[in-house]
Structure 1
Amino acid sequence: MEDCEAILEYVYTACLEQGATWFSYHFTPVFESQTSRNTFIWTRDFPVEYQKRYISDDFRGRDPIPQLVFEHGPVLTWTEARTRGKAMVDVTVYLDDLEKLGVDNWVAFALFGPRNRDGFATMRFAEDPDGFPKQRLQQIHSLILSAHLQICKVMDEGRASVALSEREREVVEWMGRGKSSGDIAAILAISPETVRTYTRRVYDKLQTNDRVTATVRALKLGLIEL
């Protein structure tokens, strides 16, 4: 697959068959942390209240789960995270906040990529994943890691030098924040057709046909910040 969004949709569909109920994938810019404002996040079916909290500066910035899974993973269930972080107040408080939002039965995955382009994924299951055979979570991790490596490969195939106009950059930034063409049109006070025109120009410059690839390539090239 050469379409990053199609890759992620494929992975999520496969994980649904394994009992997943929501999924997130975080593509981290080189030498930045998984909680950086520039980390691109692709999600499916997360609780709305959790999404609202996570995009706020304080909640996302103090997320200790990525560090825990990179140190103790590469696969870490929520119970294991509790155990590993029981001596750390910030971890305990954060996990308590998650449970208040109805976030449980989740698993975090560390995704090591080439040239320090690491990724991070989380998944919530209908059942407690601590009861799963280890092989089941290892297989899921292998699938997500393969997807991450393919996304890194697709990113490397983008043009080395790309220039976006100010309006094109704004459109990509709002795309990266999950806004639809209609939303972007309202935010920028332009018509939806104009947004689609800018989107086509961006796709052509970044050699892609999907939002995820366009956003991640723009982040990689330093063209936008989220």
Structure 2
Amino acid sequence: MIDLSQHSPKTLDELAQCCQEAETAATLLACGLAYYQLFGIDLVSYHGDSPGAPAILYHLDSTGVEEPEWHSQFLDVEKLRESPVEAMARQQVLPLYWSEVAEAGRLTRAESAYMQGLLRRYPNDGISLEVHGPGGDSAVVGLGFAAKQARLSPGGLYRLLCAAQIAHLRYCALAESQSPRDFGLSPREVEVLEWIATGKSNGVIAEILGISPHTVDTIVRRLFSKLDVNDRTTAAIRGLGAGLLRRPKDSAP
């Protein structure tokens, strides 16, 4: 669960200040999610362009709770390679609607199937956009709507683009200002964290690294202790903010 209780920016100026003052990736995330919520957004995804970069989705759950709560999960990076949304978002200046991508006439059969599945899961539509950082450090951000609504005005779309860009630049600054030594992680612990962030299970990580599953379990417990987290997704978020997950990683089974 992501705590937004201390962060409630209502304008771009307030969001910029919230991001500027954020000293951790978790705080920065809370600033962005609180602002997006004002636009009726209940789903936010973030996928860095670098090979091996994790893709994380944040979903607002309002079922059976007094206060809606944001939860996070990993996305399948391999399936995202089939997504025409990401490819088109990288070619656009302004955000594009998912339904517009689905209606495009030049999709392949696989891309059409991907879009049909996406709009079945998120029938209220959404938008995707690309954000840019120093050294070509870009990412695609997806924003899903909680309810059917009229298309946002050009000004509304531009404010969302600016909000995502502000948050991404602050993330880049946080990542540059920290190093893996900040948490005292060993090279092996960093390596395991990188594979965790790509969605690999402990068993698969053991096969990739040629070590026993018990050894991986021990390393993961030690990682959680050093990062002061209790789950894999939060560990990845903290690793992103510390610049631990920004190195390209070769694909593996």
TM surpasses 0.5: yes
Does the C-alpha gap of structure 1 residues 222 and 65 become closer, same or farther in structure 2, counting only changes over 3 Å? closer
Q: What is the alpha-carbon distance in structure 1 between the residues aligned to residue 141 and residue 43 of structure 2?
A: 11
Compare the two structures and name the one with the higher helix fraction: 1
Secondary structure of the equivalent of 2:90? Answer: helix
User: Which of residues 44, 47, 54 in structure 2 aligns to 1:26?
Assistant: 47
2:132 is matched with 112
1:206 is matched with none
**Aligned residue runs from structure 1 range 1-226, under 5 A:** 1-29=22-50, 32=51, 38-45=52-59, 55=76, 57=78, 59-83=79-103, 85-90=104-109, 91-128=111-148, 131-159=151-179, 164-174=186-196, 177=199, 188-189=213-214, 195-201=220-226, 211-215=236-240, 217-222=243-248
Shift of 1:224: 8.7
- The residue type paired with residue 139 of structure 2 is G
Shift of 1:74: 3.0
Note the residue ranges of structure 1 that are not aligned, 5 or more in a row.
33-37, 180-186, 204-208
Does the C-alpha gap of structure 1 residues 163 and 19 become closer, same or farther in structure 2, counting only changes over 3 Å? closer
Q: What is the alpha-carbon distance in structure 2 between the residues aligned to residue 213 and residue 94 of structure 1?
A: 30
Q: What is the alpha-carbon distance in structure 1 between the residues aligned to residue 144 and residue 186 of structure 2?
A: 37
Note the residue ranges of structure 2 that are not aligned, 5 or more in a row.
1-21, 62-72, 202-211, 229-233
Q: What is the alpha-carbon distance in structure 2 between the residues aligned to residue 102 and residue 60 of structure 1?
A: 16
Q: What is the alpha-carbon distance in structure 2 between the residues aligned to residue 69 and residue 148 of structure 1?
A: 16
Aligned residues of 2:128 and 2:140 also touching (Cα < 8 A): yes
Q: What is the alpha-carbon distance in structure 1 between the residues aligned to residue 216 and residue 118 of structure 2?
A: 39
Q: What is the alpha-carbon distance in structure 2 between the residues aligned to residue 69 and residue 56 of structure 1?
A: 16
Q: What is the alpha-carbon distance in structure 2 between the residues aligned to residue 221 and residue 98 of structure 1?
A: 29
TM-score (norm. length: structure 1): 0.71
Shift of 1:220: 1.9
Does the C-alpha gap of structure 1 residues 175 and 39 become closer, same or farther in structure 2, counting only changes over 3 Å? closer
Report the count of equivalent residues.
203
Render the CA deviation track for 1:55-94: whole Å, top value 9, x for unaligned: 173x2221111110121343111233234x3222243332
- The residue type paired with residue 108 of structure 1 is S
Aligned residues of 2:193 and 2:236 also touching (Cα < 8 A): no
- The residue type paired with residue 164 of structure 1 is S
Aligned residues of 1:5 and 1:210 also touching (Cα < 8 A): no
Shift of 1:225: 7.0
Secondary structure of the equivalent of 2:179? Answer: coil
TM-score (norm. length: structure 2): 0.64
After superposing the two structures, state which structure 1 stretch, 212-221 or 140-149, moved more. 212-221
